[in-house]
Structure 1
Amino acid sequence: MTPAADFWPGCGFQALARDARGWLVPSDEYLQWLLARPELALVPESCAAEIALHESLALSPARVVLSAELAAVQDDDARENYTVFLRFRDGLLAAGTLEAYYLQLMRSGVVNVPAVFIDAVVQALLRNLLDNCNDAFEARAAEMLFRSQRITLQDGQMLAGDRATLDMLNETAGLGEVGRLLLQSGALQPTAQVKVLSADNAAQYWQESDRHHFLLDLTHELTQDLSHGLTFKMTRARSGLKALARVLERWVGHLLGVQVQIEPVHQVTDSAWRWHVGLDVESTAILNDLYQDRPVDGERMARLVSLFTLTFANPAEMRADVAGKPVYLGLATNAEGVVRIKPQNLLLNLPLASVS
């Protein structure tokens, strides 16, 4: 697989194959990549049984593991980690593709694997559907579907930054434990080793994508004051919200086979509003309250990052009672200013026509 511009080299994508449908088939190499994650790495305290299990799986990652082998692992946490990994591995192999596994898991309502594995699957799926993407803004926006973002306002811009990266820089200035000690002593001030993605530096994204240090500008409109008290609003050509909308369109098309168009909007004025989907926990609650005419205070409303309209290319693919009507989407932060998108919401909650 040779993308137009390679990115996210650490997501295991190159170890996956595609089936005739274009969905990702797990291979031994991909399972070995999963096994090499820090959660499953051997440590000096690993017992002989854990070492033997790890080494045998590294050689034959799809092999059957007997319950006695797991029971022999002495450390409770290590034993649980391997149990979870094997449950995840067996689910992938039984489903046949990462897409089928993800859909089955989310539709089951019983998510029995940790978020770290689910995020790994989502990242691989996005890497697949963006394989021929040359737009760094879309690739950066796609990170929002598997990595939490901190939203900040700076000089009139709404910026999304990778939460883990920003927290690490704030705690250590990017210098590890030495940086942490220097910050605590006051000898070093936090430095913002992040930059806003722009047309001027977009080419750098592809080489630096695994560092997650680009901020995405989610500002949708620029307001310019004119004379005589007039203002002029102009939609940004490189809005991160537009890039996110394009990614969400691809996500729905790839996993549901339904073509939709998604556009960011500032407000919903539709008196016949019939259907909405929150892209996260907070926006789901806000949209539910607004739809039910329940009061939403100003502090909660201020958490809304954006609203979107979603329209189906073919209204016949919608439920008959809402066919042809727009679906409204919401995106919001929690009280700490963090956005955590739940990409499964779009797959589970759209008003799709029943398949007979």
Structure 2
Amino acid sequence: MFETSSAIWSSCGHDLLNRNERGWLTPTDAYWRHWLARPELALVDESCAAERALHAALMDRPTRAVPSAELDAFEDDDARANHRLFLGFRDAVIAAGSLESAYAGFFKAGAIQVPPLFLDLVVQAVVCRLLEDDPDAWSWRAAEMLFRRQRVSVQDGRVLSGDSETLDMLNETGGLGEVGRLLLQGGAPLPDAQIEVLGEGNAQRYLHSRAGVGRFNFVLDLTHEVQNELPHGLTLTMTRAQSGLKALARVLEKWVRHFHGVDVAIQAETRVDDPAWRWHLGLDVESSALLNDLYQGVDVEAERQSRLISLFRLNFADPMDMQAEVRGKPVYLGLAMTAGGLLKLKPQNLLLNLPLARPV
């Protein structure tokens, strides 16, 4: 049975948010108390009297104003800095009226003052609501790419995307944390790492793995096409039915609709042959730079081109939603990894750089 949305990835606090008339997420006092319970803000044995007093006051009234003097009284510099960041974020969300308005505003303001962790938690909460009635495991796993850094590898023609933090931890500790690190140092054998490639046989197991805080130990196969060699030298190219890129495209369509209120269709492409190429945007830093160079006719070395995981074609359902000078033309999207195989998707690029007639 499909899990209720409130049981999924509870660490982002999405179940403690309300919806406004637009369907955007508005904070409750319980949501801010959830933040105060995070490790970055929770009390520890070393917490001073001033920190304990402020924490109690905020737990009682999470939206209360906090004079600078209350923070200045903190003995620990890190605790003071963490609380300043949280309060700045809290006040920005309250002033904006919703998580979505605040999120879009952070990037329009220029230099981003919000920690990446805060942004990722906002995206995770939005994603949970976008997919709350979706039983498709591939869509949920693809959605992780919007708020979790990925490590991409190419193996036997397959493009596999795994959670970077999870894979790094397993490489260092066998998945057993500090105990695992000590065991490795002592030469002790560790149990097999529980990393699986998402498929038909484990899709339900993946869906259940999201319960509570959730785990990120399933690999997404981003291979879009497979080639089969036929007799007489023929090659048959087939699109995979459960392509991770297809699933990512579906999630990005929902993301655009949620923020911009327009319908788009996004599909993965192996290449772009369009002499009238007018508009493009990268879904990450690497692809943004790569597409810009290709568009301007800059020679791009083969190794750098090989980092391009996919291209996408985005079409607006209603051309009147586009700027007049590119109306009816496709928008090309890029997805690329770094030389070290890392990928950090930036969903905010779809808020800032689409050729909308009426920007959000």
- State the TM-score, normalized to the length of structure 1: 0.96
Match of 1:92 in 2: 93
Match of 2:18 in 1: 17
Shift of 1:185: 3.4
**Secondary structure, aligned partner of 1:120:** helix
Alpha-carbon RMSD: 1.5
**Secondary structure, aligned partner of 1:77:** helix
Deviates more, 1:307-316 or 1:102-111: 102-111
- 1:149 maps to amino acid: Q
1:345 aligns with 2:349: yes
Asked if structure 2 preserves the Cα contact closer than 8 Å seen for 1:169 and 1:191, the reply is no
Match of 1:254 in 2: 258
- Write the mapping of 1:1-356 to structure 2, written as runs, cut at 5 A: 3=4, 6-188=7-189, 191-209=192-210, 210-354=214-358
Report sequence identity in percent: 58
CA 1:266–1:313: 2 relative to 1, 3 Å:
same
Q: Which runs of 5+ in 2 are unaligned?
A: none
Deviations 1:318-338 (A, max 9, x none): 111111111000000011101
Asked if structure 1 preserves the Cα contact closer than 8 Å seen for 2:106 and 2:114, the reply is no
- 1:16 maps to amino acid: L
Asked if structure 2 preserves the Cα contact closer than 8 Å seen for 1:4 and 1:134, the reply is no
**Secondary structure, aligned partner of 2:178:** helix
**Secondary structure, aligned partner of 1:65:** coil
Shift of 1:346: 0.8
Asked if structure 2 preserves the Cα contact closer than 8 Å seen for 1:5 and 1:132, the reply is no
How far apart, in 2, do the equivalents of 1:190 and 1:328 lie? Answer: 44
- 2:26 maps to amino acid: V
- 1:114 maps to amino acid: P
Asked if structure 2 preserves the Cα contact closer than 8 Å seen for 1:170 and 1:190, the reply is no
- State the TM-score, normalized to the length of structure 2: 0.95
- 2:316 maps to amino acid: F
Q: Which runs of 5+ in 1 are unaligned?
A: none
Asked if structure 1 preserves the Cα contact closer than 8 Å seen for 2:6 and 2:15, the reply is no
CA 1:172–1:4: 2 relative to 1, 3 Å:
closer
**Secondary structure, aligned partner of 2:293:** helix
- 2:24 maps to amino acid: W
How far apart, in 2, do the equivalents of 1:343 and 1:39 lie? Answer: 25
Q: Size of the alignment, in residue pairs? A: 354
Deviates more, 1:235-244 or 1:178-187: 178-187
How far apart, in 1, do the equivalents of 2:5 and 2:37 lie? Answer: 28
Shift of 1:186: 3.1
How far apart, in 1, do the equivalents of 2:248 and 2:197 lie? Answer: 16
Asked if structure 2 preserves the Cα contact closer than 8 Å seen for 1:318 and 1:351, the reply is yes
